[in-house]
Chains A and B, each alone.
Chain A
Amino acid sequence: MAEHARRILKIGFFFTLLVAGGCQTAPVANLKPGERPNIETTEAGLWMQADRAEKKIQRSGNLVKHAGINRYVRSIVCRLSPDYCEQIRVYIVDKPGFNASMTPNGMMIVQSGLMLRAQNEAQLAFVLGHEMAHFIRRHTLQRWQTVKDTTGFLTIVSIALGASGLGGASPMVGLMATGGIFANSRDNEREADGLGLAMIVKAGYEPQEASKVWKHLLAERRAMEDADIGQSFFSTHPGSEERMETLSNLAKTIPGAEQAKNTNLTAFIEAVGPHRDHWLERELRLGKLDRTEVVINNLLQQSKDLGVLHFYKGELYRKRNTESDFEKAIEAYSKALTYPDSPPKTHRALGFIYRKRGETNKAHDSLNDYLKLQPRADDHAMIRHYLEQSK
C-alpha cells in the first residue's frame, strides 16, 4: 500500500513538471509580406534549413529549368498574390505523381505530375494558392511546434510510467500523440483549402475548379487496387471526399463567385502542352496503369494534344500486355496517327506490336516509317537490325 502510494506521488511529481513545461501551442499570426523571423527564434532555424534545402534543389538533376514553364507558373503566383509574389520562389521538379509543397522560407516545389493532372489554369492556381496559404499561415512552424510538444510530452510520460512501475509507454500514449500531429495537419489542410479558394476567386478564377482537383484525385485513387500510402499527396493532404464537398459548397457562396469565371485554358495548354509527352512517359514508368488511365482519360476530354494522348493510351494498353490489349493498343496508336502532333515513336510502337503478332509486312512498314522520321533515333541501330532479321 505504501509502495503504491509512493508510485502515485512520483507520477504526480512528473506530471506537474510536464504541465509546468507546457504543451500549449500559441496561436500563430500570418507571415507579413517581406517579413523575416528574428534570428533567435525557432522559426529562423526552420528557415535556415529550408534555405539549405533550396540550395540543394537548385543543383538537383530533377529540376525543370525550362524558362517558359517557369515564367508561366510564376505569373500565376503573382496574380494570386501581388503582395507575396516577390518572396516566393517556385521550383518545378520532373517527377510523376500529384504533389506540391512549400517550405517556411518561401520555396515552393511543384511536381510535374501535378502540372500534368491540372486541366486548366484555375485548377493549377488553386493548388498553388493552397500551398501559399501554408506559407502565409506558417503551418510548418505550427506543426513543428506540435511535434516538439508531443514528443516532449511522450518522453515525460514514458519516464513517469517507468517511474511508476507501470511498465513501458502505453501504446495508447503513442496513438494519442500521432493523432495529435495529424489532427493538426488536417486543420491546416482545411485552412489552406479555404484560403486557396479565396485567393483564386479574388484573382478571377472559376471557384468550382477547386473541388474538381480533389474529385479527379479521388477518381484516380479509386482506380487503384492497392492503397498507396507512402509519400503520396494523400498522406499529408488527407480527407479528399470531405474536402471536395466543402470546396464545392464554399464555391457557391463565396463572395465574388459570380464574376470569377476564368479558367485560362488557352494559355495553360500553350504552357504545359509541349511537356506532356515527357511527363506522361515518366508517369507510365511508375507502373500504376489504372491510375494513369484515369489521368489520360481526363486529359482527352479537353481535345488538345490528341496525338500525344492517344499514343500514350496505346502505350498503356501495350504495358497491360494481354491479348485483347494488343487490339486496343493498335487502335489507339492508329488513332494517334490521324492527328498532326502524333510523335514519330507511334510508328515504332505499332511496328513492335505487329512484330509480336507475326504480321511481318505491317511491322516492316511501320518501322521503316519510324526510321524515315527519325533516322538518328537512339535505337536506330537496333531497329535496322530487326528489319534485317525479318527480311
Chain B
Amino acid sequence: MVKDTQTGRWGLSVSLKVAIPKLAATIRSPLLLAAIAVLMAACQHGPLKSNKEIVTPKGPVRILVMPADVTLYEMTTGGLSEPQAAWTKRGKVNVDRALKKVMADNKSKAVFYREPNPDDPNATRQIQVIALQDAVARTILQANYSRRNLGLKEELDYSLGKHAQALVPRGGADYAVFVTLKDSFSSAGRQAAKFMAALIGVRMQNAIQAGLASLVDLRTGEVIWFNVYAKGIGDLREPSGAIDAVKTLLAEFPLWPNTQDEF
C-alpha cells in the first residue's frame, strides 16, 4: 500500500518535472530531506574527522560562517514539500543566531560571510570556491554516506586547495563552516492522511529535519570535519529548536573541547 502511494507520488513527480520547468528541481525534491532519510540506513553515521593534526591558534578562533542554506517546508497531503517563505525567514534568523551563540559559548567568533561587490576582483574566485565546496560535499556524501558502497575513500581527506584563501574576509578568519539545514512539517491534511493510513496499518513517510555541515581550514583549504544528520523531531521556527539543531549538527566539532571522552 505504501508502495502504491509512493508510486502515485513518483509518477506525479515525473509529470511535475515536465509540467513545472525550472521550478521543479527546487521544489519537488528538497536537497536533503528525502535523501537523508534513506541515507541514514547506510554505513556511515555521525561526523567524519580528518586524520591531520588540528593546530588551533591562540586566542578565539575566527570561524567564517558561509550563508547557511536554510529552507523550511510544509509537507502536503500528497507528500509534496511546499517551501514556506515566512517559516524560512524565521528559521534563517534563528539558525544564524544559534550559530553565533553556540560558537561564542565555545570561545569562537562567528564572522558572517558577506557577498562581494560585483566589481570585487575576488568575486568570481569566491563563487568558484563555493562551487568546489559543493562538489566536495557531494563527493563525501557519495563516498561515505551512500547506501551502496561505491569503493571511494573512507577517510576524510579532501581539500579545496589554496584558493580557499579567497574567502578570507578583510578582518581575517581561520576556518569556514558551510551549513545546510532543512526542516519540514506535516500539514493538517497530511496528518489526517497519516492517521487514516495508520488505521489500516500503513506507514507514510514522516516529515523530517536534516542538516549537513563541513569545516574548512582556510589556510590550506583542507576539509577537516563533516557531518550529516536527519531526525524526525525539532523545529527551526523556534530559537531553542535552532540551537538544538545547531548543536546536533556541530557534533564533535574539532575546534572545541569535547564533552565526551575520546579513545
Contact = CB atoms under 8 A, between A and B. Distances in A.
A–B proximity contact (CB within 8 A): yes
B196 A14 contact: yes
A235 B19 CA distance: 8
A50 B24 CA distance: 10
Nearest to B189: A21
A144 B84 CA distance: 14
A159 B192 CA distance: 11
B4 A158 contact: yes
Interface residues of B, number: 42
Contacts of A150: 12, 78
Interface in A80-125: 101, 103-104, 109
Given A49-B26, A159-B193, A162-B1, A143 B86 contact: no
A39 to B, nearest CB: 5
B82 A151 contact: no
Contacts of A59: 127, 131
A375 interface: no
Interface stretch (B141-149, B197-205, B215-223): B197-205
Interface in B89-139: 89, 127, 131
Contact of B20 (A48, A143, A152, A153): A143
B27 A46 contact: yes
A174 B11 contact: yes
Interface in A229-245: 231, 235-236
B83 A45 contact: yes
B8 A174 contact: yes
A21 B5 CA distance: 18
Contacts of B23: 46, 49-50, 53, 103-104, 140, 144
Contacts of A169: 4-5, 7-8
Contact of B85 (A21, A48, A156, A174): A48
B12 A101 contact: no
A75 interface: no
The secondary structure that dominates the B interface is helix
Contacts, number: 144
A185 to B, nearest CB: 6
Contact of B15 (A44, A52, A178): A178
A154 B192 CA distance: 14
B182 to A, nearest CB: 13
A152 B19 contact: no
Interface in B1-21: 1, 3-5, 7-9, 11-12, 15-16, 18-21
A163 B199 contact: yes
Contacts of B18: 231, 235-236
Contacts of B22: 50, 53, 101, 103, 109
Interface string B17-56: 0111111011100000000000000000000000000000
Given A144-B27, A159-B202, A152 B12 contact: no
A123 to B, nearest CB: 21
B76 A178 contact: no
A297 B136 CA distance: 46
A144 B88 CA distance: 19
Interface in A142-178: 143-144, 147-148, 150-156, 158-159, 162-163, 168-169, 173-174, 177-178
A155 B193 contact: yes
* Residue with the greatest number of chain B CB neighbours at <10 A, chosen from A104, A148, A173: A148
Given A101-B22, A151-B78, A159 B86 contact: no
A148 B76 contact: yes
A47 interface: yes
Nearest to B28: A147
B248 interface: no
Contacts of B4: 158, 162, 168-169
A181 interface: yes
A327 to B, nearest CB: 42
Given A39-B89, A178-B15, A46 B83 contact: yes
A164 to B, nearest CB: 9
A245 B129 CA distance: 51
Contacts of B202: 159, 162
B211 interface: no
A159 B200 contact: yes
Contacts of B68: none
A286 B5 CA distance: 38
Contact of A178 (B12, B20, B85, B197): B12
Nearest to B130: A59
B22 to A, nearest CB: 5
Contacts of B180: none
Leading 5 A-B pairs by shortest Cβ distance: A151-B78, A152-B77, A44-B85, A45-B83, A168-B4
17 contacts: A17-B192, A21-B189, A40-B85, A40-B86, A41-B85, A42-B82, A59-B127, A101-B21, A140-B23, A144-B82, A152-B77, A154-B12, A158-B4, A159-B5, A162-B4, A162-B200, A169-B8
Given A144-B23, A151-B8, 13 more contacts: A21-B77, A53-B22, A53-B25, A144-B27, A148-B76, A148-B80, A151-B76, A152-B77, A158-B8, A169-B7, A178-B11, A182-B19, A235-B18
